[in-house]
Amino acid sequence: MKNQVTDIFKDKGQTYSFELFPPKTEKGYQKLLGTLGDLCRLQPDFISCTYGAGGGNREKTLEIAQHIQEQLSTPSIAHLTCVCHTKDEIRGILQDMKTRGIGNILALRGDPPLDNPDWQPGKNNFRYAKDLCAFVREEFGHDFTIGVAGFPEGHPLCPELDQDARFLKEKVDNGADFVITQLFFDNAHYFDYVKRLRALGVNSRVIPGILPITHYDNLLRFCQSCGTTIPSQVHEIFKPIREDKDKMLEEGIRFCIQQCRELLEGGAPGLHFYALNKLHPVDTILKNVRI
């Protein structure tokens, strides 16, 4: 098995992958282990695991990533955030990852934890993901493949699109190997984003992040919090059926399949599904779009 995703990229023009998160309870964790087995039967190219705010679920993140590789023979990516960690702590986490055989990270700034929303980095902290990328390369060379987050509609703290693209280039210049984007529902945002990056000389893979729509009201709240635009088409489809869960799921699958096909036909180097720790509907969507 090739653990580093850059090795997979050499062999595959398009990859299909999932993201999940560490549950807060032991019951949820055990349930996730079962779901992981089902997800891996879909033969994803890799699976990423998110990181609790302020490192609250760091240990579970690494346990899950290690389980995916050792027990399910699937490459994993462990998220790593700067927030609330000193440089020495980050060094220790990376060494722990290396010991566990985890060769891929998604380097993120991260959001301050809910119990410390005003946290600010000091001299012993990293301020931005670009600083974390540089540190990983300086301390560990190419022991890790580094992925970073991209924002087709601009980061909420940097809505100026050209400047946001320049910030992404800094992460790549500091050692990042590939990009996974924030969710979006208008594919024009993705294609325009890739054009901006290519114009700056960024030739890394930019893998679109895909969130299947399963609940209209939850979608409204989530997109408001992360700054994702909801196109009028989505409102027109889902608002009239917001009380019909079965119909919403059916239309959500239909919408997502269409979105994914357009992305792949337009040259996207794969799809990264935000699975929300569930097998369905990503199983149905992947079956219908995988090339």
Question: Which amino acid is located at 257 in the chain?
Answer: I
Q: Which residues contact 28 (CB under 8 A, 6 or more apart)?
A: 277
DSSP the chain: ---SHHHHHHH-SSEEEEEE---SSHHHHHHHHHHHHHHHTT--SEEEE---GGGTTHHHHHHHHHHHHHHH---EEEEEE-TT-BHHHHHHHHHHHHHHT--EEEEE--PPPTT-TT----TTB--SHHHHHHHHHHHHTTSSEEEEEE-TT-BTTB--HHHHHHHHHHHHHTT--EEEEEE-S-HHHHHHHHHHHHHTT--SEEEEEE-----HHHHHHHHHHHT----HHHHHHHGGGTT-HHHHHHHHHHHHHHHHHHHHHTT--EEEEE-TT--TTHHHHHHHH--
Q: Could you give the residue numbers annotated as active site?
A: 19
Look at residues 14, 11, 5 and name the one whose alpha carbon lies nearest to residue 47. Answer: 5
The sign of the torsion formed by the CA atoms of 62, 64, 67, 72 equals: negative
Question: Which amino acid is located at 262 in the chain?
Answer: E
Under a CB-based contact definition with an 8 Å cutoff, are residues 172 and 202 in contact? yes
